[in-house]
Amino acid sequence: MAEHGDGTRADVSPDFSGKTAVVTGAASGIGRAIATRFAQAGARVALVDLAEEAVRATAAEITGDGGIAEPYACDVSRQQQVLDTFRAIAERSGPVDVLVNSAGVAHVGTVESTEEADFDRLYAVNVKGVYNCLKAVVSAMKGRGGAILNVASVAAVVGIPDRFAYSMTKGAVLTMTYAVARDYIAQGIRCNAISPARVHTPFVDGFLARSYPGREAEMFEALSRSQPIGRMGRPDEIADLALFLCSDAAAFITGSNYAIDGGFVTLKM
């Protein structure tokens, strides 16, 4: 919001009209909120997710609210699927202006309790999936510019108990962000990362139900209090930061990582 001379406020929210934004992991949680927010800002949004039924439902909800959204069922860990999907997006919606890499999976465990299959699964989605999507858009963005946002995590920069494999993958996401920002700055491509702490998503609810049956409310409060601000983040709060960083208002920002964590990194005692 900006202030007029008469003290009234004017809406200066980012306008993505005429732009094509791709959001992976768009069927639920943070990705769903980001896709919805971009559609509200006028973008043509391509929703990419492995969960075909859920991503179609999300797209239908967005279009029902007046947005422009197309669902694409795709396994981001499979490069040919990704290349084919991004080719279809460009043919239907035009060149990609914005890519948000939000698809990801989690795992609880130390190095001892993490099995090879767990490690490989997280690497395939969280690391290779980001690489595949980056590879699919960077060449097309060169010369015309674009904005890329990778969803990392506070686990990329601080030690969190029982998150060995997850932390590994998010550290890789962060360093891929820096590499792409450095390699393509002269081509007008900006690449940034955001690092959320705990955000209240369906994943959190499912984790609590599986791990603490009958104690969900108690453990939810405990997890909320583990962040200095005293609560979990909301997906729409993450989406607002994502929208800003991909907008022209952030044209001077690249190669940066933004913690959105209720003080978790800097204020945690």
* Among 72, 123, 131, 166, the one annotated catalytic: 166
- Number of C-beta neighbours around residue 199 at 10 A: 21
CB atoms within 10 A of CB 53: 11
Whether 24 and 50 have beta carbons less than 8 Å apart is answered as no
Q: What is the dihedral of CA 162, 106, 120, 133, to 10 degrees?
A: -140
Measured between alpha carbons, how far is 195 from 133 in angstroms, rounded to an integer?
A: 19
Packing angle, helices 164-183 and 129-141, rounded to 10? 10
- If one counts every other C-beta atom within 10 angstroms of the C-beta of residue 15, the result is 12
How far is Cα 149 from Cα 73, in angstroms, rounded to an integer?
Answer: 20
Q: Which residues pair with residue 160 across a beta bridge?
A: none
Residue 166 is a catalytic residue: yes
Q: Are residues 239 and 33 in contact, defined by beta-carbon separation less than 8 angstroms?
A: yes
**Contact 198/223 with Cβ under 8 angstroms?**
yes
Structure tokens at 242: 């994502």
Q: How far apart are CA 21 and CA 31, in angstroms?
A: 12
* Residue of 90, 100, 98 whose CA lies nearest to 70: 90
Which residues are part of the catalytic machinery?
166
